[in-house]
C-alpha cells in the first residue's frame, strides 16, 4: 500500500493531528464531539500490539452521544468520502471501486435486534435534495436475533420504491469475530444491475470467513450523483421514551489501513 496515494488513509501516530490527517486524505468525519463539555475527540490513534503499528480508534458513548448533535433514536461516529473527495474516491453510475481496510470489533460488544452498522456504501444527495439516499446500498451490521444470538450480517438494501427491502448476502457468528482483526477487500460495480465481491479474512488464523464473488446486487439509487463508503459505528437505540440503552454500552472499534481504488 502506498500511504501517499489518493484514497489511502493510514494512521501515523500523531494522535492530536488525527482529524487533519483524515480530511487531508480526502475523507470527512461525523463525530459527536460537541456532546461533551469540554468537547471530546471521538476518533483517536493508538498503538496496536497485535498489528505492531498505530491504528484508528472510534469511540461511542451510550449515555451521552447523539447523531451529529441531534437527539434522535441513533448515534454515529464515522468517516466517509463525500462530494468534495477526489473523483477516484467516489463512484459514478457504472463505475467500480475496490475498497480495502482492517477492523476489529471489541470483545464483549453489545448489540440489539436493531442495527449497529460498522460499514456502509451510501448514495450522495443531489443539489435539489431529492435523491433516493435515505437507506444505504450495502451494510456490514452487527445485531442480535430474536433468539438472542449475535450475528454479523452483510446486506444489500433495495431502492425506496421497492420498500427498501433488505437482501442478506452473508451472515457469520459474531462471537467468532469479536476481538479479532479482520482484513476486508470489497469490490462493487455501481449500477442497478451491479455486482458485488467481498472477502473478509480473520488475521489470527488466516481463515476466510466470508467470500462473495461478483454476485448480482442492486447498487444504484435514483438521482444520486455518486456513491461513497462509510466506516465507524452507526447504531440505533430506540425512540425517545422507549429506548433500550440498557442493552448497549460504550464501545471502541479499531480500524486501520483504508484504501479506495477506482478500477
Average pLDDT value for residue range 170-196: 97
Tell me the per-residue pLDDT of 77-94, one tens digit each, with 9 for 90 and over.
Answer: 999 999 999 999 999 999
Residue 159 pLDDT? 86
Supply 49's cell numbers.
Answer: 500490539
Cα 42 to Cα 22: distance, rounded to the nearest angstrom: 13
Strands 53-60 and 194-202: unpaired
Share of the chain above pLDDT 70, in %: 95
Among 33-47, 56-70, 147-161, 230-244, the least confident range? 230-244
The overall longest dimension of the chain from CA atoms, in Å, is 49
- Domain parsing of the chain, residue ranges: 10-89+233-254, 91-100+107-225
Which pTM was predicted? 0.94
C-alpha cell at 223: 438521482
CA distance 263 to 142: 29
Query: 245 pLDDT exceeds 70?
Result: no
> What average pLDDT does the structure give for the chain?
93
Amino acid at each position: 500500500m502506498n500511504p501517499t496515494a489518493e484514497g489511502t488513509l493510514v494512521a501515523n501516530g500523531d494522535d492530536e493531528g488525527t482529524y487533519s490527517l483524515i480530511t487531508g486524505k480526502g475523507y470527512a468525519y461525523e463525530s459527536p464531539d460537541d456532546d461533551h463539555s469540554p468537547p471530546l475527540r471521538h476518533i483517536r490513534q493508538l498503538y496496536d500490539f497485535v498489528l505492531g503499528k498505530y491504528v484508528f480508534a472510534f469511540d461511542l458513548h451510550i449515555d451521552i452521544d447523539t447523531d451529529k448533535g441531534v437527539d434522535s433514536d441513533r448515534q454515529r461516529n464515522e468517516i466517509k468520502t463525500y462530494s468534495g473527495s477526489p473523483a477516484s474516491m467516489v463512484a459514478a453510475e457504472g463505475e467500480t471501486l475496490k475498497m480495502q481496510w482492517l477492523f476489529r470489533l471489541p470483545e464483549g460488544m453489545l448489540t440489539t435486534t436493531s442495527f449497529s452498522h460498522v460499514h456502509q456504501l451510501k448514495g450522495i444527495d443531489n443539489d435539489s435534495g431529492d435523491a433516493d439516499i435515505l437507506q444505504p446500498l450495502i451494510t456490514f451490521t452487527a445485531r442480535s436475533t430474536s433468539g438472542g444470538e449475535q450475528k454479523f450480517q452483510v446486506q444489500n438494501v433495495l431502492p425506496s420504491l421497492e420498500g427498501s427491502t433488505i437482501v442478506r448476502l452473508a451472515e457469520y457468528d459474531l462471537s467468532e469475530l469479536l476481538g479479532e482483526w479482520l482484513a476486508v477487500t470489497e469490490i462493487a460495480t455501481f449500477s442497478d444491475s451491479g455486482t458485488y465481491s467481498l472477502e473478509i479474512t480473520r488475521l489470527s488464523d488466516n481463515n476466510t470467513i466470508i467470500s462473495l464473488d461478483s454476485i448480482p446486487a442492486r447498487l444504484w439509487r435514483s438521482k444520486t450523483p455518486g456513491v461513497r463508503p462509510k466506516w465507524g459505528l452507526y447504531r440505533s437505540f430506540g425512540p425517545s421514551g422507549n429506548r433500550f440503552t440498557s442493552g448497549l454500552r460504550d464501545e471502541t472499534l479499531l480500524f486501520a489501513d483504508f484504501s479506495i481504488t477506482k478500477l
